[in-house]
Amino acid sequence: MIELSPELIERTLIFFREPVDNPEILPNVLPLIMGLVIMELYFGKHKEESLGWNTAVGNGVLWTSTGISLYLTAELTQMQLYLVYGLIAIGGLVVYLDFFHKWPSTVAFMISSAAVIYSVAYILVIIVKSPMPMEPLTYQAAALAFIAINVGFMFIKALEKDADSFSSRF
C-alpha cells in the first residue's frame, strides 16, 4: 500500500510539472500528451465505439518507438537503460500479441488502450528525462501519477456527451 506522504505527493507533482519546468523534454512528451488527450476525448465522445485490433497494434508500437527515441536521445544511467529496454521489449511483445491476436481481445484492448499506453510512455519519459532519483519513492510517485491521469480522464469522459447516443442524432 502506498502511503500518501508529503514527499510522495511532491514527487508525483513533478510528473505533471516537468514539461513546464524542463521544456527540452517537450519533443518527447508533447506527442504523448496530445495522443492521450485526443484518444481519450474521442472514446469519451463515442462511447459505443471500442478499441480494435489495428489500434491496439498501433498503440503497442508507441511503446517501442518511445523506448527507441529515449535510447537514441537521452544519456541513460544503468537503471534508466533497463527501463528503456523494458519499454522496448514490452512494446514489442504487446505488438506481437496484438498483431497475431495471441491473447483475448478483452486483455489486449485493456493493455493496449490509449490510457495505459500513453500514460505509461509519458511517465517513463519523465523518469528518464528528469533529474528525479531512481528510488522507490519515484516509482511510487509514478504509480500515483498513472492512477491520477487515468482517473482524471475517466472523469472527463464521463462528463462528455455521447455522440453515438440516439438522442444526440436528432
Cell match 544519456: residue? 75
Q: Which domain holds residue 135?
A: 25-160
When mean pLDDT is compared over 7-16, 31-40, 70-79, the highest value belongs to 7-16
Residue 132, Ramachandran bin (φ over 0: left; ψ between -120 and 50: alpha; else beta): beta
Radius of gyration (C-alpha) of the chain in whole angstroms: 17
For residue 14, tell me if it sits in a domain: no
Top-confidence residue, 154 or 170: 154
Top-confidence residue, 71 or 168: 71
DSSP 77: -
Q: Would you say residue 159 has pLDDT above 90? A: no
In this prediction, what percent of the chain has a pLDDT beyond 90? 70
Q: What is the per-residue pLDDT for 61?
A: 93
For residue 17, tell me if it sits in a domain: no
The 10s digit of each residue's pLDDT in 30-70 is 999 998 888 888 877 877 777 789 888 999 999 999 999 99
Burial of 56: CB neighbours in 10 Å, binned 0-12, 13-18, 19+: buried
User: In the predicted model, what is the mean pLDDT of the chain?
Assistant: 90
Q: Which of 75, 78, 90, 91 is nearest to 129 (CA)?
A: 75
The 10s digit of each residue's pLDDT in 18-34 is 999 999 999 999 999 99
Q: Would you say residue 169 has pLDDT above 80? A: no
Q: Would you say residue 133 has pLDDT above 80? A: yes
Question: Is residue 137 within 8 Å of 11, Cβ to Cβ?
Answer: yes
For residue 167, tell me if it sits in a domain: no
Counted domains in the chain: 1
Q: What is the per-residue pLDDT for 170?
A: 47
For residue 168, tell me if it sits in a domain: no
pTM for the structure as a whole: 0.86
For residue 169, tell me if it sits in a domain: no
User: Binning pLDDT at 50, 70 and 90, where does residue 111 land?
Assistant: very high
In this prediction, what percent of the chain has a pLDDT beyond 70? 95
Q: Three-state DSSP class for 51?
A: coil
For residue 7, tell me if it sits in a domain: no
- Geometric angle at alpha carbon 11, from 70 and 41, rounded to 5°: 65
User: Binning pLDDT at 50, 70 and 90, where does residue 158 land?
Assistant: confident
For residue 166, tell me if it sits in a domain: no
For residue 170, tell me if it sits in a domain: no
